[in-house]
Amino acid sequence: MIHPGLSAAPSTIIVNAANSYRAIDQQCDVFESHRHHIFSVAYYMTGDEREAETILQSTFVEAFEQQAQPSIDQLDQALMTQLHSRMSLVPVAAVEAGSESLGHRNVRRTDLEEALWQLPARERLCFLLRDVEGYTPIRIASLLTTSEPEVQRTVLSARLRLRRLLIEQRAEASV
């Protein structure tokens, strides 16, 4: 018999509550397993921890609105939406290969980060996704709605531009 104040049997309420907690736990697992990736890309795109945190939250809100347990592809798509809404990701003219070389010296992380901030946004994003996060060119092309050869050109241009920036930094430091 159902209690007059309840619309469902107590066992049904307990099952519904357990399912609700299970869904919340699954969302927490999705968030915890992907938050570092989303935050780091957002941070390296914006250079601002607060803005990166805002992008992180907005990305997960958007992804969870679309699906209770979004895949990494859905999270990446939500991240791209957030980045597109905040910055211009239009292609820029590619850098031509030159004969510059860094030699066999190691590059300090701080120097690399400083040079990274100077890249155009689209080059920075393609470089981060390809060389830092390990995405395939096909996957990046899908996220940016462009072709695989265009992604490969953009990554190459980013690498060349980074090399030139690092060489300039080293030359300025030695003066």
Indicate the length of the chain as a whole number.
175
* Position 79 confidence tier, pLDDT thresholds 50, 70, 90: very high
pLDDT tens digits for range 105-157: 677 888 888 999 999 999 999 999 999 999 999 999 999 999 999 999 999 99
More confident site: 114 or 17: 114
Residue closest to 135 by CA, chosen among 73, 89, 92, 54: 73
Helix locations, the chain, DSSP H: 10-46, 49-66, 72-86, 109-117, 121-127, 137-144, 148-174
Q: Is the pLDDT of residue 70 over 80?
A: yes
Q: Residue 137: left if φ>0, alpha if ψ -120 to 50, beta else—which one?
A: alpha
- CATH code 1.10.10.10 region(s) in the chain: 109-174
Q: Angle, nearest 10°, between helix axes 72-86 and 49-66?
A: 130
Q: How far is CA 122 from CA 15, 29, 71, 155, in A?
A: 48, 30, 24, 9
pLDDT number for residue 15: 55
Q: 124 with 44: CB under 8 angstroms?
A: yes
| Dist. CA 67–CA 116, nearest whole Å | 34
Assess if CATH 1.10.10.10 describes domain 109-174: yes
Compute how many other C-beta atoms are within 10 angstroms of the C-beta atom of residue 93: 7
Residue closest to 70 by CA, chosen among 81, 83, 61: 61
* Position 24 confidence tier, pLDDT thresholds 50, 70, 90: confident
* Position 90 confidence tier, pLDDT thresholds 50, 70, 90: confident
More confident site: 20 or 80: 80
Q: Is the pLDDT of residue 84 over 90?
A: yes
Q: Is the pLDDT of residue 5 over 70?
A: no
